[in-house]
């Protein structure tokens, strides 16, 4: 009998780490999670000012996963993935499969001509935009960073309240006539069900594709 697949989840704060663990468990896999910061403000500071520290912290967490016989890691955070040196991390931990949202965007870029991207901060938005432009130079992008929205999600305010308070539907999304909305922050699926009631085009959460990639691969 095969042992159940165990997945390590790393995210920026305890809230989105919990979201990631819940997401993995919802799809039938075991999961444990570690956050790299205590709050969105701390995570934002670390991402901009101490990326080397964050990179080493992620390496240390993955090493801890490996001591627990967990060799599949999901970096369940777009902005964290944008700040760390993922190539270096993979070179240091060759026995683990490590998947980030950025891996998924490379495959999405050629499927759309006009997209809207929501991200937690400008650094993350820039990284995601670069991936799309590199794969599809003709793509048309409207991008927004929205840390105050992420803070409201951390506080577990009702999705409808958040959408109305920040007037998210009126941020030019519908008028831009995008092919899709990319949720470039793993907090944002918290709003997805309510957003789907108000928007007329697809909303893309990369988490499911990340999980498929992670569980279809075999650890080294």
| Cα 215 to Cα 35, 58, 188, 193, 209, distances in angstroms | 21, 20, 23, 26, 10
pLDDT digits (tens, 9 = 90+) for 171-192: 657 778 889 999 999 999 999 9
How far is Cα 114 from Cα 111, in angstroms, rounded to an integer?
Answer: 10
- Give the residue carrying structure tokens 């999961």: 31
How far is Cα 133 from Cα 49, in angstroms, rounded to an integer?
Answer: 26
What angle is formed at CA 112 by the lines to CA 102 and CA 21, rounded to 5 degrees?
35
pLDDT tens track, the chain, 220 positions:
456 789 999 999 999 999 999 999 999 999 999 999 999 999 999 999 999 999 999 999 999 999 999 999 999 999 999 999 999 999 999 999 999 999 999 888 889 999 999 999 999 999 999 999 999 999 999 999 999 999 999 999 999 999 999 999 876 577 788 899 999 999 999 999 999 999 888 999 999 999 999 998 665 4
The arrangement of secondary structure in 6-101+208-216, i.e. its CATH architecture, is 3-Layer(aba) Sandwich (3.40)
Please provide the DSSP assignment of the chain as one string. Answer: -PPPPEEEEEESSHHHHHHHHHHHHHTT-EEEEEES-SSHHHHHHHHHH-HHHHHHHHHHHHHHHHHTT--EEEE--HHHHHHS-HHHHHHH-TTSEEE-HHHHHHHHGGG-SEEEEEESSHHHHHHHHHHHHHH-TT-EEEEEE-HHHHHHHHTT--HHHHHHHTTGGGTTHHHHT-SEEEEESTTGGGGHHHHHHH-SS-EE-THHHHHHHHHHS---
Q: Would the CATH topology of 6-101+208-216 be identical to that of 103-205? A: yes
In the chain, where are the structural domains located? Answer: 6-101+208-216, 103-205
How far is Cα 100 from Cα 78, in angstroms, rounded to an integer?
Answer: 7
The arrangement of secondary structure in 103-205, i.e. its CATH architecture, is 3-Layer(aba) Sandwich (3.40)
pTM for the full predicted model: 0.88
| Cα 33 to Cα 147, 207, 208, distances in angstroms | 22, 15, 17
Cα dihedral 191, 6, 8, 125, rounded to 10, equals: -40
């Amino acid at each position: 009998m095969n042992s159940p697949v165990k997945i390590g989840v790393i995210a920026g704060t305890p809230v989105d780490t919990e979201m990631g663990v819940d997401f993995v468990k919802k799809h039938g896999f075991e999961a444990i999670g570690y956050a790299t910061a205590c709050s969105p403000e701390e995570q934002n500071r670390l991402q901009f000012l101490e990326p080397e520290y964050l990179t080493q912290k992620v390496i240390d967490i993955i090493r801890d996963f490996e001591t627990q016989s967990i060799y599949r890691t999901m970096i369940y955070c777009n902005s964290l993935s944008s700040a760390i040196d993922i190539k270096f991390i993979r070179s240091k931990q060759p026995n683990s499969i490590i998947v980030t949202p950025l891996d998924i965007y490379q495959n999405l870029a050629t499927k759309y001509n006009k997209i809207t991207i929501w991200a937690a901060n400008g650094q993350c938005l820039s990284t995601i935009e670069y991936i799309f432009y590199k794969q599809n130079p003709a793509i048309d992008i409207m991008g927004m960073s929205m840390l105050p929205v992420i803070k409201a999600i951390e506080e577990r305010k009702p999705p409808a309240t958040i959408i109305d308070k920040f007037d998210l539907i009126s941020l030019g999304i519908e008028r831009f006539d995008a092919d899709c909305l990319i949720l470039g922050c793993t907090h944002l699926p918290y709003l997805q069900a309510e957003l789907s009631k108000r928007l007329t085009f697809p909303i893309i959460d990369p988490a499911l594709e990340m999980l498929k990639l992670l569980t279809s691969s075999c650890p080294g």
